[in-house]
Amino acid sequence: MAAREGLDEAIVDFCRFARANGLSAGVKESLTALEAARAVGVADRRVLKAALRAVLCSSQADWELFEMVFEEFWGWGEGGLRQPRGRHEKPGRTVKELESQPGLMWPAGTAAVAENESGKAVAGATAYERLKRVDFSEIAPADLGDLEQVALRLLRQMSLRLSRRLKAASRKGRVDLRKTIRLSISRGGDPIYLSFRGRKFEPLRLVVLLDVSGSMNPYSFFLLRFAYALQRYFKRVDTFLFSTRLSDITGALRTRHLRDALQALSQETAGWSGGTKIGESLREFRAGYGNRLSRNTLFMVLSDGWETGEPEVLAEELSEVKQRVKRVLWLNPLLGMEGYEPLTRGMSAALPYVDVFAPAHNLESLLKLEGHLSFRG
C-alpha cells in the first residue's frame, strides 16, 4: 500500500512538472497517467515512459519535449527509475526556477554534499557556483568529475528551456474565420476544422565547427560536450572538428550517451593538438558540406582564432557562409580573459562576418548563449 501511494505521489508530481514545462497535463491527463502507471508498474523504465508519453503527448512537438521533461524529472540512465529529481521540493516549478535552486542539485549549505550514481560525494552549493565560473583551462584534475556533472545538468536544462520556448511560439494563434468558412463548404457548412492565423516556428538547424588545435586543448572537451547537449533542442546538429583539416563527427555524436560518442571520436584522425588552418577548413566544409547550410541555420565556430593559414582565405570563406545562413556565431575562449583584444590576423579577418562574438571559457559563459540560440531574431 505504501509503495502504491509513493508511486501515485511521484506520478502526480511528474504531471505537475510536465504541465509547468509546456505539456498538457491537466487533471484528466493526470488521472489517466495514474491509471497507466498502476497498470504497467515501474519495473521497466521504458514501458512506464511509453505509457506516460501516450497519455501526455498529442503531437510531434509534445513527443520531443516529453523526452527531456521525463529525463530531467526522473534522472538519466539505463535500467529502472531513479529517485525523481527534486522530489523533496514543491512540485510544479519551471526549469528556470529549478535551476535557481542549487539545493535541488545538492543540499543547501556551504558544506553540503550530494551523492552521484556511484556513491561518490560531489561538491556543495558554494563549489557549485565556483565550478560554473572557473576557466576550463584552470580546472584542477580533482574537480573534473564534479564539473562534468554540473555541466551535464545545466546544459540539459538550457536545452529544455529552448524547447519550451519553441513549443510556446508554435501554438496556434487567432482563428482565421474566412479560411475556416471556406474549408467548411465541402463539409456542408459545418466548421468542423478551425484554421488559425500566425506563423509556425520551427527549430533552427545548427552547424558547429570546433577547433581542436593545440592552443584549444584546455577547452575542446567541454565545448564538445556543449555541442552534444544542444542536439536535444535543434532539429538537426552537424558537428565538425578541425585543425589543419576537417572531420565530420555528426554521426559519432548521435548516441544516447556522451561516453559512447567520445569512444567513437577516439578513432577520429582530426589533427588533435595540431596547428590551425581555419580558412582552409572552412573551404573544405563549403566544398563538401555546403548543402547543410540554409537560411534556417545557425553557423557556430568555436575557436581562439589563431590562424596559421592565410587570413584572406578565412575572410573569403566566412563571407560566403554568412550569405547563406541565418546567423554566424564565433565563440572564443580567450574572450573571457581580462584585457583580451581580438588582434590576431585570423580573428581580425573573421570579425566583420560574425553576428555574435562571445566568450566560451567557462560553463557560465556557455549558458549565457541561450538567448542567441533561440529561433527569434
In a domain, 227, yes or no: yes
Q: Determine, yes or no, domain membership for 283.
A: yes
Taking only the tens of pLDDT, the chain with its 377 residues reads 556 667 788 888 888 888 877 788 888 888 899 989 888 887 788 888 989 989 998 877 678 778 878 877 876 444 445 555 544 343 333 333 333 433 322 222 222 333 343 333 344 456 777 888 889 888 887 777 777 777 767 776 776 666 665 555 555 556 666 666 666 666 655 555 556 555 555 667 889 999 988 888 888 888 888 888 777 667 688 999 998 889 898 888 877 676 777 777 766 655 566 678 999 999 999 999 999 999 889 999 999 999 988 999 999 999 999 999 999 999 999 998 888 888 888 999 999 999 999 999 998 898 888 778 765 54
Question: How many domains does the structure of the chain reveal?
Answer: 2
**What is the DSSP secondary structure assignment for residue 196, as one 8-state letter?**
B
pTM for this structure? 0.62
How many whole angstroms from its chain centre is CA 339?
Answer: 30
Confirm whether 18 is domain-assigned: yes
The answer to whether position 186 is within a domain reads no
Domain boundary (23, 58, 74) is at 74
Give the separation between CA 61 and CA 158, rounded to whole angstroms.
Answer: 17
Q: What does the alpha-carbon distance between residue 239 and residue 350 come to, in Å, rounded to a whole number?
A: 20
Domain boundary residue, one of 59, 74, 89:
74
Answer yes or no: is 85 within a domain: no
Residue 366 lies in a domain: yes
Which CATH number covers residue 307?
3.40.50.410
C-alpha cell at 165: 520556448
Nearest alpha-carbon partner for 133 in 336, 338, 353, 275: 336
Residues in the chain, overall count: 377
Can you give the residue range of the structural domain that contains 46? Answer: 2-74
Same domain, 222 and 363: yes
Which of 56, 74, 92 terminates a domain? The answer is: 74
Q: Cell numbers of 137, please?
A: 583551462
